[in-house]
């Protein structure tokens, strides 16, 4: 098979659900801006794109009607560019990259766009009208249970203490705050957002402004402050709002090319996809998914698990919850604090912080953290990058990328 090269990877800021800067901006506007920025950064004519795959965890209402196609029209891309929407819940954005790359690798496409979009402010988690099948729910309700409860299950079953979770959350925020200060989020594109303001005469007026940073980072976070938070999902639990991912709005987009297309359009490839896989696990502990997916990925590409500790390698391990991120890191042999602490010179997990600090816009996240991973691989000259996340319903996804010379 051919190689698939990523030549552009961008994202909007990730902003808090309900109270954040993007809360009143429709999801179509978010993904359109990411799409336009992805082609503008590399000066690519959109007419060169064959297909667009868009990840979205709840593709309904404002995110419905095949947003992957609607967004192309709104972005004024040519009618010849086709589009579809893909849903694998939390890894939808990564799934879109994998599908787009696989088409290039198979010779079915030369240039594809992949992306992710989720407005959790506008389309609620679970959707507007969830309809679980009653008979199945009686037999096995685990596939429908709260993600917070699955995080509690992981913490209780595998001995991930409250103290461990709070410490991990603290370092996530410290890494994110430092990355903002040092301007490491080069993948972010300034995004025009809407807000609706009531005037003294009672009229409602839409105003616009530009948002260029993730607004959920809590630079003032302390361990002492995290300790004071009450459990969010169980009165006797250890999972809190402070050691869980933030619900967030955002969008991201990437451009993927064959080697022939790279040469034809004079592009400089950033990374290439080496391998991708998904793995299933118990639904009631869905957070352990990466502990299954990453070993499966390593087997696919011919790696021994010890390489995770020794290679020139960084990780984007999505922090759905601190409990599951810690457990997965432990199972993979990279659970030592030195691999994720903000003050460690050996840090290789979530260099710029993770979803606890930056947010988890569900179907967008796989594309969002990919853009961050690429930016960090390029900035630090790291040869390999692994992206992985747990997935609602009991799954994990993982992909390996290699830095291009």
Active site residue 117: no
Residue appearing with tokens 């196609």: 69
Q: How many CB atoms lie within 10 A of CB 363?
A: 35
Tokens of 21: 């800067």
Annotated active-site residue in 15, 117, 298, 360: 360
Tokens of 160: 């991930």
CA–CA dist 233, 399 (Å, integer) = 31
Cβ atoms 147, 324 nearer than 8 A: no
Q: 124's torsion region: left (phi>0), alpha (psi -120 to 50) or beta? A: beta
Active site residue 360: yes
For the chain, the first-to-last Cα distance in angstroms comes to: 20
Residue appearing with tokens 């948002």: 211
Q: Phi first, then psi: what are they for 24, rounded to 5°?
A: -105, 15
Active site residue 404: no
CA–CA dist 48, 298 (Å, integer) = 34
Annotated active-site residue in 90, 281, 328, 364: 90
- Which helix (H) or strand (E) element contains residue 9? strand 5-11
Residues marked as catalytic? 90, 360, 390
């Amino acid at each position: 098979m051919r190689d698939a090269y990523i030549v552009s990877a961008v994202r909007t800021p990730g902003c808090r659900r309900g109270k954040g800067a993007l809360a009143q901006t429709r999801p179509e506007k978010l993904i359109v801006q990411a799409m336009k920025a992805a082609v503008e950064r590399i000066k690519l004519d959109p007419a060169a794109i064959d297909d667009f795959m868009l990840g979205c965890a709840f593709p309904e209402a404002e995110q419905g009607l095949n947003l992957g196609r609607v967004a192309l029209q709104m972005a004024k891309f040519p009618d010849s560019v086709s589009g579809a929407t893909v849903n694998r819940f939390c890894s939808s954005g990564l799934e879109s990259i994998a599908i787009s790359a696989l088409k290039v690798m198979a010779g079915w496409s030369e240039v594809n766009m992949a992306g992710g979009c989720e407005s959790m402010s506008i389309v609620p988690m679970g959707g507007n009208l969830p309809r679980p099948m009653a008979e199945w729910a009686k037999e096995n309700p685990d596939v429908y249970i709260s993600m917070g409860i699955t995080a509690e299950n992981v913490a209780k079953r595998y001995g991930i203490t409250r103290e461990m979770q709070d410490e991990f959350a603290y370092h996530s925020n410290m890494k994110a705050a430092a990355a903002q200060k040092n301007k490491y989020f080069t993948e972010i594109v300034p995004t025009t957002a809407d807000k609706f303001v009531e005037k003294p005469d009672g009229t409602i007026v839409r105003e616009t402004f530009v948002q260029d940073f993730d607004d959920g980072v809590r630079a003032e976070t302390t361990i002492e402050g995290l300790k004071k938070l009450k459990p969010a999902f169980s009165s006797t639990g250890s999972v809190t709002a402070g050691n869980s991912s933030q619900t967030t709005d955002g969008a991201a987009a990437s451009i993927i090319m064959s080697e022939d297309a790279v040469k034809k359009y004079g592009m400089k490839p950033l990374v290439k996809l080496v391998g991708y896989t998904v793995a299933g696990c118990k639904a009631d502990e869905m957070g352990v998914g990466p502990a299954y997916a990453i070993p499966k990925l390593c087997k696919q590409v011919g790696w021994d698990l010890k390489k995770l500790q020794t290679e020139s390698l960084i990780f984007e391990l999505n922090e759905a919850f601190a409990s599951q991120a810690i457990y997965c890191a432990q199972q993979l042999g990279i659970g030592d604090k030195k691999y994720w602490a903000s003050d460690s010179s050996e840090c290789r997990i979530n260099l710029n912080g993770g979803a606890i600090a930056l947010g988890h816009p569900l179907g967008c996240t796989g594309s969002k953290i990919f853009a961050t991973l690429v930016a960090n691989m390029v900035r630090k000259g790291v040869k390999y990058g692994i992206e992985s996340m747990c997935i609602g319903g009991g799954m994990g996804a993982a992909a390996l990328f290699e830095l291009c010379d």
